[in-house]
């Protein structure tokens, strides 16, 4: 259950203080080696400022089993997010290819499927609650691209609350007490690679998201 502000694995500018550093200490070397030295045990990632659930593998067989489930999209990942604006419909989806922005290398952007540097991405959503100028959504992903939920909703005119990188109003974010995007990895469902039992894990909102809500 990753807190906000924590990077998943070491990278330029974030050599330590990452989830991987914590896992290496906690697991005392019992992490799968498939991800290499930089990403031991890491099956999938969530953004630095996204909080919530991700699954980590302690051995190679588990890593392979979980990665295979990821590859065929049988792992269910439910995120909750608050976005700007209202929705007439109760559920829908955003389907658009994503690639690295040509104007800002730190950002991702929506591109036509014909662009060679892009990857297909699909985000399904349903409305959980409607507020005045915002909507609380549950999102389920068929793909796990970098910044996927953030870019998809920004592209249809509904940026995430608190997400200044993709269009949120900084003054309004400050008024809500938000220092990051309102996005939480709420639930994970997968088949346990060893016991084959269908496993569901849930996480509560952290304090800053609860306060803003």
Report d(CA 61, CA 64) in Å as an integer: 5
Residues 171, 139, 152: CA angle, nearest 5 degrees: 60
In this structure, what token pair is assigned to residue 99? Answer: 């690639």
- Active-site choice (47, 59, 163, 208): 47
Q: Is residue 47 annotated as part of the catalytic site, yes or no?
A: yes
Q: Which residues of 166-203 are buried (b: 16+ CB within 10 A; e: fewer)?
A: bebeeeebeebebebbbbbbbbbebbebeeeeeeeeeb
Nearest to 82 by CA among 130, 152, 137, 124: 137
100's CB contacts (< 8 A; 6+ apart) are 107, 108, 109, 117
DSSP reduced 3-state for 100: strand
**Cα atoms in the 13 Å half-sphere on the side-chain side of 145:** 24
Report d(CA 15, CA 71) in Å as an integer: 29
Q: Which residues are catalytic?
A: 47
């Amino acid at each position: 259950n990753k807190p906000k502000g924590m990077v998943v694995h070491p990278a330029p500018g974030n050599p330590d203080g990452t989830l991987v550093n914590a896992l290496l200490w906690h697991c005392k070397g019992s992490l799968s080696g498939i991800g290499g030295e930089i990403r031991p045990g890491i099956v999938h990632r969530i953004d630095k400022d996204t909080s919530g659930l991700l699954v980590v593998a302690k051995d190679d067989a588990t890593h392979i089993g979980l990665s295979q489930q990821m590859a065929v999209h049988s792992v269910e990942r439910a995120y909750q997010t608050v976005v700007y604006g209202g929705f007439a419909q109760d559920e829908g989806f955003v389907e658009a290819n994503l690639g690295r922005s040509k104007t800002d290398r730190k950002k991702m952007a929506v591109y036509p499927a014909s662009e060679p540097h892009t990857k297909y991405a699909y985000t399904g959503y349903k409305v959980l609650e409607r507020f005045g100028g915002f909507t609380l959504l549950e999102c389920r992903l068929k793909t796990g691209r970098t910044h996927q939920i953030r870019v998809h909703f920004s592209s249809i005119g509904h940026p995430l609350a608190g997400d200044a990188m993709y269009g949120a109003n900084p003054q309004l974010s400050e008024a809500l007490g938000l220092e990051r995007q309102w996005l939480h990895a709420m639930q994970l469902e997968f088949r346990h690679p060893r016991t084959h039992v269908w496993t569901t894990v849930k996480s509560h909102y952290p304090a800053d998201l609860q306060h803003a809500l």
